[in-house]
Amino acid sequence: MLNTSDCQTGFTWHNWGKNLTANPSCYCTPKSKEDLPGILQQAKNEGKSIRVLGGGFSWTAMVPTDGFMIDMTKLNKILSVDTVKQQVTVEAGLAVGQLSTALSGDQYKLSFATETVIPWITVGGAVALGCHGTGYSQGTVSDLVVAMEVLLADGTWRTFSAETDGEEMMDIVRVNLGALGIIYSVTLQCVPRFNLSAVDDGTQRMKDTIGDIKNLVTSHDYVEVFWFPFNENCWIKTWDKTDKPITENDPTWGWDEMKVYLEINSFGKRLMGWADKWPWLTPYVMKFISGLMPQQSVIAVSSLVFHYQLFYMPVWDMSYCINIPNNDFSLVQKAWMQVVKRIEEWKEQGKYPQNMVLHTRYIKNSSACLSPASGEDHTCCIEILTYTGNNRPVSDYQTYFQQVEQDWIELGGKPHWGKAIYSVDKLKSMYGQNMDAFLQVRQQLDPEQVFMNDFLRQVFQLPSAR
Ligand SMILES: Cc1cc2nc3c(=O)[nH]c(=O)nc-3n(C[C@H](O)[C@H](O)[C@H](O)COP(=O)(O)OP(=O)(O)OC[C@H]3O[C@@H](n4cnc5c(N)ncnc54)[C@H](O)[C@@H]3O)c2cc1C
């Protein structure tokens, strides 16, 4: 039965990035598993489609619908922890940061081998889009999934698991873009709790670092490289497993200085506002911000290290996965230096479309069909960000982002599903047989396109069935 108190009409939804708006005919916030079948049935009775909402942190139009929008964030319990198998089963609306903090306490003493930086996204949203952190020997968050309980379009419950369905099927359903049904619960593989020795270093020259990137990435467990345009140096994070005792318990250690300067009295907003108003100031602002990045060395539990950033200014973000075949980093070096070249070219015209960081993370490839990091070997997740506060017009930076996207596509890159994508029409062919395998299962599970919206129809090149 549909609990009407959990559903409302006339609701206007916005995503975190404020680039998307939707007016769903019905916005539901289920509070228990038993609420879900009633909501599904009601949507079908009204001939409406459904999109499931996690935390709303995606920039792509995965969630908008004029049908039913189901907000999963009240379904946020840890259901069970199997300490022998080191697996945790949770409701899909639980935030990933809350989960890893709970697991790493003395009750369970568990960690995840990899996590996203952002702690507020839901487990369902992270899994559905193949989200990732860093770690050259680690896959994505979706690769940690061993089972998933899903409410299908026909109203039946189905648990997909590696044990009963096999890895081939799991690879099809893990990264699902919310197009197979409502994920109620997810079982994730954990590892024993571990500490990381985390070093932040801003003393290295950017060009030298990228020239020797293979050495850097292959000599640490986890690496991230940041570059604020117009700076000689980059900022490098390296994390290595250690048995040494913890020196840091404060959850805000990561970006302390930056946060203090930029958040107090909205100084960051004003600073970026000046760069918007007087674009020629951008290089000075970038130098100032780069100078704020901490130099430090701490030992902390992995969940604290992974979620190092707790303050995000409004940004536009595009991320592509660039392959690293046989530890050959030449495509990554090209992808990076093309961005540097583009930034210089635009500066020559007095324009600064990218006024935030260029960032890379390095992971093991994923076996999931729709993962942008699918395949053998390794992948670099490279991303560019620009500040969008102060109502900065999209036209200010769109052409630049499209140019960089084309550069990265020419290098064989595939986009993060949740971040900016301009070449939506190319996605189906980018994934080839992997996309065909996914679409076959999607067609079997949801022939009437209950879980579709216009964006996904464009991605899958599907005619409307409703
Ligand atoms: C500031 C910021 C930092 C970020 N950092 C990272 C990062 O470190 N690494 C990274 O990989 N990405 C990162 N992202 C991107 C973000 O993690 C992804 O877009 C993620 O999918 C958002 O999760 P969400 O819970 O907000 O889901 P939403 O954005 O609400 O939804 C994402 C998709 O998941 C589907 N979905 C969600 N829950 C369910 C469910 N229960 N059943 C079925 N489908 C479901 C939705 O239908 C949609 O297709 C960042 C984004 C922001 C804004």
CATH code of domain 195-420? 3.40.462.10
Q: What's the gap in Å between 420 CA and the centre of ligand 1? A: 13
> Which of 129, 237, 366, 380 to mutate to test ligand 1, by most ligand atoms within 8 A of the CB atom?
129
Nearest to 115 by CA among 371, 362, 382, 306: 306
**What's the angle, vertex CA 273, arms to CA 269 and CA 274, rounded to 5?**
125
Domain boundaries, the chain: 4-71, 78-192, 195-420
Of all residues in the chain, the percent with pLDDT exceeding 70 is 95
| pTM score | 0.97
What DSSP line would sit under 247-258, residue for residue?
Answer: ----TT-TTHHH
Atom from ligand 1 closest to the CA of residue 312: 1
Atom from ligand 1 closest to the CA of residue 53: 30
Nearest to 99 by CA among 186, 158, 194: 186
From atom 33 of ligand 1, which residue's Cα is the shortest distance away? 125
Q: Please, are residues 319 and 422 in contact by the beta-carbon 8 Å criterion?
A: no
In angstroms, the CA 108 to CA 345 distance is: 53
Residues with CB under 6 A from ligand 1: 16-17, 51-58, 62-63, 72, 92, 116-118, 121-122, 124-126, 128-129, 131-132, 177-178, 182-183, 312, 418
- Kindly report the length of the chain: 466
Q: Locate tokens 């044990």: which residue?
A: 163
**180 alpha carbon, distance to own chain's centre:** 19
Q: Locate tokens 């930034």: which residue?
A: 343
From first to last of its 466 residues, what are the pLDDT tens digits of the chain?
Answer: 566 668 999 999 999 999 999 999 999 999 999 999 999 999 999 999 999 999 999 999 999 999 999 999 999 999 999 999 999 999 999 999 999 999 999 999 999 999 999 999 999 999 999 999 999 999 999 999 999 999 999 999 999 999 999 999 999 999 999 999 999 999 999 999 999 999 999 999 999 999 999 999 999 999 999 999 999 999 999 999 999 999 988 766 665 556 666 766 677 888 888 888 899 999 999 999 898 888 889 999 999 999 988 888 899 999 999 999 999 999 999 999 999 999 999 999 999 999 999 999 999 999 999 999 998 899 999 999 999 987 889 999 999 999 999 999 999 999 999 999 999 999 999 999 999 999 999 999 999 999 999 999 999 999 887 5
Q: Residue ranges of the alpha helices (H) in 22-78?
A: 35-45
> Which of 76, 131, 357 to mutate to test ligand 1, by most ligand atoms within 8 A of the CB atom?
131
pLDDT computed for residue 229 by the predictor: 97
> Which of 117, 121, 123, 138 to mutate to test ligand 1, by most ligand atoms within 8 A of the CB atom?
121
Q: What's the gap in Å between 454 CA and the centre of ligand 1? A: 18
Instruction: Please enumerate in sequence order all residues whose Cβ is within 8 A of that of 14, keeping only pairs 6 or more positions apart, or say none.
Output: 20, 21, 56
Q: What's the gap in Å between 55 CA and the centre of ligand 1? A: 7
Q: Is the dihedral of CA 18, 22, 23, 27 positive or negative?
A: negative
Q: Which residues pair with 414 in a beta bridge?
A: 321
Q: What's the gap in Å between 397 CA and the centre of ligand 1? A: 23
From atom 4 of ligand 1, which residue's Cα is the shortest distance away? 118
Q: Model confidence over 55-67: pLDDT tens digits?
A: 999 999 999 999 9
In angstroms, the CA 90 to CA 75 distance is: 9
Phi and psi at residue 31, in whole multiples of 5°? -110, -10
Atom from ligand 1 closest to the CA of residue 129: 21
- At position 298, the amino acid (one-letter code) is V
pLDDT computed for residue 438 by the predictor: 98
Helix, strand or coil for residue 40?
helix
Q: Which two tokens stand for residue 85?
A: 């198998």
Q: Please, are residues 196 and 241 in contact by the beta-carbon 8 Å criterion?
A: yes
pLDDT computed for residue 183 by the predictor: 99
Radius of gyration (Cα) for the chain, nearest Å? 22
pLDDT computed for residue 289 by the predictor: 87
Q: Which residues pair with 385 in a beta bridge?
A: 317
Q: What's the gap in Å between 350 CA and the centre of ligand 1? A: 35
Q: Which two tokens stand for residue 392?
A: 């900065």
From atom 44 of ligand 1, which residue's Cα is the shortest distance away? 178
In angstroms, the CA 377 to CA 393 distance is: 39
CATH code of domain 4-71? 3.30.43.10
pLDDT computed for residue 3 by the predictor: 64
pLDDT computed for residue 211 by the predictor: 98
Nearest to 172 by CA among 452, 438, 446: 438
pLDDT computed for residue 309 by the predictor: 86
* Fold (topology level) of 78-192: 3.30.465
